[in-house]
Amino acid sequence: MTSDRVFGLVGLALAGFYVWQATQIELGFSSDPLGPRSFPIIIGGVMALASVYPLVRPDPRPDWPAAGRLLEIALAVAVLVAYALALPQVGFVLATAVAAAILSWRLGSRPLGAVLAGIGISVGIYVVFHLILGLSLARGPWGF
């Protein structure tokens, strides 16, 4: 079994778990016709479809990244896990600014540019999703 097929199987398993978890979302009394389950189920379906391709047509000789690149990927995963854990405590704006700055820096930005990008991304998403669309985001110690 090639690594692509293993990747496809893991992706299918994750998609199945994701869809199953989406079906566990409790519905409120007043919800829209599609409901809160629809979007996660669509995402899980797309993930399942994308996972089928490596099962059907695996790459005979996949190119694995060098050890340094694997370390970069592990660092990005660690940043995203830390982001998810910090979000309820420090709020959306601060957690997103820090995570976006670190990821921007690791993608090649200079440190000052990465900090500015992190702040811009965080504030921009906050304005669009919270102020314009009215969606609730995790509140930090400053109330935003």
Domain count, the chain: 2
Task: Using the predicted structure, report yes or no on whether residue 16 has a pLDDT greater than 70.
Answer: yes
Q: pLDDT value at position 26?
A: 79
Distance (Å) of CA 59 to CA 66, 67, 83? 18, 20, 33
Cα three-residue angle 102-92-37, rounded to 5 degrees:
110
Shared domain for 42 and 108, answered yes or no, is: no
**Lowest model confidence (mean pLDDT) among 1-5, 28-32, 53-57, 78-82:** 28-32
pLDDT band for position 31 (cuts 50, 70, 90)? low
Shared domain for 87 and 72, answered yes or no, is: yes
3-state secondary structure the chain: CCHHHHHHHHHHHHHHHHHHHHHCCCCCCCCCCCCCCHHHHHHHHHHHHHHHHHHHCCCCCCCCCCHHHHHHHHHHHHHHHHHHHHHHHHCHHHHHHHHHHHHHHHCCCCHHHHHHHHHHHHHHHHHHHHHHCCCCCCCCCCCC
86-144: pLDDT as tens digits: 999 999 999 999 999 999 999 999 999 999 999 999 999 999 998 888 888 888 887 76
Shared domain for 23 and 34, answered yes or no, is: yes
Domain boundary among 19, 44, 64: 64
Shared domain for 73 and 107, answered yes or no, is: yes
Shared domain for 52 and 111, answered yes or no, is: no
Shared domain for 40 and 69, answered yes or no, is: no
Shared domain for 76 and 139, answered yes or no, is: yes
pTM of the model: 0.67
- Domain extent, residue 98, equals 65-143
42-80: pLDDT as tens digits: 999 999 999 999 999 988 887 888 999 999 999 999 999
